[in-house]
Structure 1
């Protein structure tokens, strides 16, 4: 080999080494803690994994079952305390700020600026993702919580119509019961009880009452006659559930509506993912409507990933790419089509989405302008986790205790709301 050939060989080897090193730096592992384990949710998580793997990174799945996420948060706390936090964890609402105060989250402003998040997100959502004005989390979607799902064949068989208020709801429930159909599919778990309570509170009291009572935790509103009426209506819903409801997972309750064993379910729009995964068509095989009395309001639940501090350039790069991928138009479309939610990006076309999603998207925009877009207390968007947990405990206690009066429940909720 002559001198020129040797020089060329060395150059090629050096170039290859640089390419290899760059490849290593670009490809990293990202460990993601989430609680998307049901059919529609698992498909959604797989879509995010595929998006990241396209960029050469590896996804380490850390799924913890439990629809409300309580189990996942318990696991996360133990991991963070032991100094072994995942790169990303499914956290939302005021809990994001609670974690940020601990100094364990990473600053995403560089990615946010590059990707123009401030122009893509509604301010009410962007604010939840920030701590002291800096992004520490990225939103995935917008769920509407105040939905009513129904099986049209079951309603037809019972001679009932889809209700628009609580009086009509109980009329339909009576007809379903008379026809031998379980009126309300429910899973007797604390978070599901709270989800039902939230829709009842919004439907009975309206958006202004909801904001005062369940966002601002105003004592006068919490102890009012309106709240007592909320509790009475809420307890009446229970009389239309079946004896096997205690402990049932939410997706199994949705399956009851899919099969026509039950007529209706009060649940967020993640339930739609179950209908779609079962091959059902909205408007034909199932009906979606705002929960009784809530057509002009919207309780939102925004899924998001808080990003924890990680070590190693490869892991930091993978984490940043994950954050960017979450808000990419491609992922927003695929993910939300699977999940039953709507894109959190403001400029997303809804052409591929079904009528339920289009209604949700239109209402999201309209209620944002009209002041009736409110955070879900049941799904960790409205108040501190301590206050939420205390109120949720009382709500479930009331649901399960036939001896507790609505008046007693109101007093206990007002006391629970003072929990710091």
Structure 2
């Protein structure tokens, strides 16, 4: 049937109105259909870390999802993993959990993680990440985790006002470190803020190992875990240097959280801290600026070397389709340039995504990003043994125990410590 022009126009308008109403209905309904609950286990509970976690929460809420915070404070994540395991065993896993390094593959072997290849392929993660990072995010070729950031471990944090007051020089070698520490101690200042927890004890040792033994020795000792390196004259020198540091810490160090040690430097109660760049987030959280309120410099003897930690979220299998969809949105949000910038500006770390603009980042972060990129190209990045990046958890924990016993004992010799480190490295 042929319509006259006027009727045809009215029908077209009617159809247009119906189509518009339909599109409006779909636009309103789709977010509700996709909306899910995202429960995320993490241990970002200190000032700078908590502010960084809020950036992720805001990103997910903007997509219409509800955020359920599953934060467990303390022990560099040790307590959080204990809680996570009980949740998984009971069949009540969160959508995502902060897990990193070889532990990702261990969880994947248990069959509790889900593939997020759909997101990774669509967004070309293989092209956006250094291979050393993307390999850690995969299990049998499938992405089962999304990387969040990159931390450099081998940093020395300095309160310049304290140094200026006592006339000490910011050290770049271990000889200079001990000279400065003596000056500070004579002036009644705690030279080094330290938290006497096992992961912090081992973090300090790995930094000393790199500074005394060099990158290749570090690789042999803590990545390859060769007995000839762990029980060697070089390791003897490392351990001797390590124990020389303790008199420059304070008697209240045992059990202290790392951020409380950072607070000592911020307040001028201590002059230095050897810690990863998550410490920078604490300075930034109180308005302190690099070069003014604090100085970041490579740990003694470690300039141009890079011990790394990559935080990542493992994605667990979920029963709810809506929550699974939200989980994919979470993975996409974490890798977005917007989140990578916002999160890392708050956290004190650097983006894991290559090719990011660093205009808004401070000089510490710019230097760290440049050295990370160079080391990735040269395949010379060094994973942190103390922070879950270089060894299975059984070996990591065994080494933590040995190192803490050596740190706290006046009777254990370097020879005995080396013997125990060799035994710990053979744990299965």
User: How far apart in 1 are the matches of 2:82 and 2:16?
Assistant: 58
Contact 1:68 1:191 survives alignment (8 Å): yes
1:240 matches 2:248: yes
Gapped regions of structure 2 (runs ≥ 5): 1-10
Structure 2 match to 1:397: 405
User: How far apart in 1 are the matches of 2:267 and 2:21?
Assistant: 64
* 3-state DSSP of counterpart to 1:89: strand
Structure 2 match to 1:333: 341
1:378 matches 2:386: yes
How far 1:369 sits from its partner (Å)? 3.4
Structure 2 match to 1:293: 301
1:416 to 416, 419, 424: 424
Structure 1 match to 2:148: 140
Distance 1:127 1:171, change over 3 A: same
Structure 1 match to 2:233: 225
1:345 matches 2:353: yes
Structure 2 match to 1:35: 43
User: How far apart in 2 are the matches of 1:245 and 1:141?
Assistant: 29
Distance 1:16 1:283, change over 3 A: closer
Contact 2:117 2:143 survives alignment (8 Å): yes
How far 1:235 sits from its partner (Å)? 0.9
Mapping 1:222-371, distance limit 5 Å: 222-371=230-379
User: How far apart in 2 are the matches of 1:339 and 1:103?
Assistant: 31
Distance 1:295 1:24, change over 3 A: same
Contact 1:29 1:318 survives alignment (8 Å): yes
User: How far apart in 2 are the matches of 1:229 and 1:372?
Assistant: 23
How far 1:333 sits from its partner (Å)? 0.4
User: How far apart in 2 are the matches of 1:206 and 1:365?
Assistant: 19
Structure 1 match to 2:5: none
User: How far apart in 1 are the matches of 2:23 and 2:187?
Assistant: 76
Structure 2 match to 1:110: 118
Taking structure 2 as the reference length, the TM-score comes to 0.94
Contact 2:199 2:400 survives alignment (8 Å): yes
Contact 1:92 1:302 survives alignment (8 Å): yes
Tell me the alpha carbon deviations over residues 149-177 of structure 1, each in whole angstroms, 9 at most, x when there is no partner: 00111111221111111111101100111
Structure 2 match to 1:171: 179
Tell me the alpha carbon deviations over residues 333-367 of structure 1, each in whole angstroms, 9 at most, x when there is no partner: 00000000000011101000001111111111222
Taking structure 1 as the reference length, the TM-score comes to 0.96
Structure 2 match to 1:62: 70
How far 1:66 sits from its partner (Å)? 1.2
* 3-state DSSP of counterpart to 2:185: helix
Q: Quote the RMSD (CA, aligned, Å).
A: 1.8
If you compute each CA radius of gyration, which structure gives the higher value, 1 or 2?
2
1:86 to 94, 102, 127: 94
User: How far apart in 2 are the matches of 1:122 and 1:62?
Assistant: 29
Distance 1:171 1:54, change over 3 A: same
User: How far apart in 1 are the matches of 2:304 and 2:16?
Assistant: 72
* 3-state DSSP of counterpart to 2:297: strand
* 3-state DSSP of counterpart to 2:214: helix
Contact 1:95 1:385 survives alignment (8 Å): yes
How far 1:418 sits from its partner (Å)? 0.3
User: How far apart in 2 are the matches of 1:288 and 1:186?
Assistant: 16
1:122 matches 2:137: no
How far 1:370 sits from its partner (Å)? 3.9
Distance 1:401 1:119, change over 3 A: same
Distance 1:11 1:294, change over 3 A: closer
Contact 1:193 1:395 survives alignment (8 Å): yes
User: How far apart in 2 are the matches of 1:67 and 1:184?
Assistant: 20
1:188 to 169, 178, 196: 196
Pick which of 7-16 and 134-143 moved more: 7-16
